[in-house]
Structure 1
Amino acid sequence: MGPSTPIVRHYTIADFEIRGPLGKGNFGNVYMACHFIVALKVLFKSQIEKEGLEYQLRREIDIQAHLQRTHNILHLYNYFHDARRVYLILEYAPRGELYKELQNSHAFDEPRTATVMEELADALTYCHEKKVIHRNMKPEKLLLGLMGEVKMADFGWSVHTPFSRRKKMCGTLDYLPPEMIEGRIYNEKVDLWCLGVLCYELLVGNPPFESTSHSETYRHILKVDVRFPASIPLRAWDLISRLLRYQPSEQQPLAQVLKHPWVRAHSRRVLPPAAQMASLALSTPILL
């Protein structure tokens, strides 16, 4: 993926006016900060070191720094660190988490869901062209921009893999594909499985394989045991069933997701104006 862009200037916390909290994570917090308006993700080095996640953080930064040419991926503008913390300067997504909107609505209608599918299929196409597998796409990892556009925001489990062959299990239980559960070698098509699970969850309000125990969830996933309620439109049912396949080779490719009749009929995607990015160039690697 290449080295990071040469440093333009060093940042410290004094360069930002902290306005208020946006969210909490396992190892730190996210705040609204003014430089121009950005989100400032603050991570504690002690927690990262305790969990042995130094490499994962470097990988996350490197991947997100090189995925900057689509509106549907949250931009990482820069990063810096001091003795105790690492700071990621991120694009501010004013409408917050997709998960919270889904909770408030319980389920989305066809236009909203089809729009999300088109936006994410386009963003994943870009990721896969860059040899990046996301591996953990779910409502909690997706943010919403000013116009409601979806932004892939968390690349903590993502991997840059030029040869597209991995074996590590990672992600969220309800979204795990069969090949991960069975320990098979997998590739970027695990993201297509996640896209199918997400489409179902947005339309129904809960993921398709959710159960009372891990073992029962695993069993449903391995059998691809999906119960489609009557509320799911037939053409959306068709798209989901084409993405949730036991054999990855049988899955609907992303190009066909973008052309699927249900997506084309219902998506209301609007491309927002280009984000302001020029003044914040990426800096040199973090020293944890």
Structure 2
Amino acid sequence: MAIATETQPQQHKDSSEVSGSAAEQRRWTLNDFDIGKPLGRGKFGHVYLAREKTSNHIVALKVLFKSQLQQSQVVHQLRREVEIQSHLRHPHILRLYGYFYDQKRVYLILEYAPKGELYKELQKCKYFSERRAATYVASLARALIYCHGKHVIHRDIKPENLLIGSQGELKIADFGWSVHTFNRRRTMCGTLDYLPPEMVGECRT
């Protein structure tokens, strides 16, 4: 994926999922979507509820600003995120249907998880029942086993990056730190609050 300043929007399109026409070859643009309410905000942009006009399929549209990506030197991470997540197919992994971009922004077309972050759900409930917590842990474990079978390491599992679908099912999201590798990695990355003790120990030695 090129993150450049082309005037013509580009895209990668899984048309069988969003538009309903596997033969359709036209490129996505912002005009293909009705934009709804904001769903969240991140370091490099915002996420909006959106509807693909042709199919009426509801998605989450993640809008990232190129200038901020380039300034933070994370363009390569975005390329890797798109490449990895767009090829993952698992009921407990959030789908990335495709992307497109224009002169100023990059747009990721994501599966919509209507019940939001696990983190916010936990804040609201204070604690989960043993049965509910066990269901989430089992779902997460199955998704991670699938990822590792594909030689993908997420590297930033935390409640904020776990979303809840319409049926209450867990979905891993945000593959910004993920890598495709056959080897063990020692990169210091992820979120400081969730670093495992063994990684903290290695950093201090």
Normalising by structure 2, what TM-score? 0.83
Q: Flag the structure with larger Rg.
A: 1
* Candidates 142, 154, 158, aligned match of 1:122: 142
In the alignment, which residue of structure 1 is the partner of 2:66?
45
In the alignment, which residue of structure 2 is the partner of 1:65?
86
Q: What runs of 5+ residues in structure 2 fail to find an aligned partner?
A: 1-11, 16-24
Distance 1:147 1:6 in 2: 24
Report which of the two has the higher share of helix.
1
In the alignment, which residue of structure 1 is the partner of 2:20?
none
Question: Displacement of 1:5 after TM fit?
Answer: 8.1
Distance 2:150 2:201 in 1: 27
Root-mean-square deviation over aligned CA pairs? 2.0
Amino acid at match of 1:99: Y
Question: Displacement of 1:6 after TM fit?
Answer: 9.2
Amino acid at match of 1:115: T
In the alignment, which residue of structure 2 is the partner of 1:189?
none
* Candidates 8, 11, 35, aligned match of 2:28: 11
Distance 1:152 1:112 in 2: 17
| Residues 67, 73 of structure 1: 8 Å contact kept | yes
Q: What do residues 196-225 of structure 1 show as CA deviations (whole Å, max 9, x unaligned)?
A: xxxxxxxxxxxxxxxxxxxxxx9xxxxxxx
| Residues 169, 183 of structure 1: 8 Å contact kept | no
Q: What do residues 193-252 of structure 1 show as CA deviations (whole Å, max 9, x unaligned)?
A: xxxxxxxxxxxxxxxxxxxxxxxxx9xxxxxxxxxxxxxxxxxxxxxxxxxxxxxxxxxx
In the alignment, which residue of structure 2 is the partner of 1:101?
121
Normalising by structure 1, what TM-score? 0.60
Matched, 1:22 2:39: yes
Matched, 1:32 2:52: no
In the alignment, which residue of structure 1 is the partner of 2:5?
none
| Residues 14, 98 of structure 2: 8 Å contact kept | no
* Candidates 77, 85, 99, aligned match of 1:56: 77
Report which of the two has the higher share of strand.
2
* Candidates 144, 167, 188, aligned match of 1:169: 188
Rate the CA distance shift 1:86–1:5 in 2: closer, same or farther, 3 A.
Answer: closer
Percentage of matched positions with identical amino acids: 60
Distance 2:171 2:116 in 1: 10
Distance 2:105 2:139 in 1: 33
> How do 1:272-283 residues align onto structure 2 when only pairs under 5 Å count?
none
Amino acid at match of 2:156: N
Amino acid at match of 2:186: K
Q: Which has the higher contact order (CA 8 A, sep 6+)?
A: 1
Question: Displacement of 1:66 after TM fit?
Answer: 1.3
Does the residue aligned with 2:70 lie in a helix, a strand or coil?
A: helix
Does the residue aligned with 1:167 lie in a helix, a strand or coil?
A: coil
Does the residue aligned with 1:101 lie in a helix, a strand or coil?
A: helix
| Residues 95, 148 of structure 1: 8 Å contact kept | yes
Distance 1:13 1:90 in 2: 14
Amino acid at match of 1:18: I
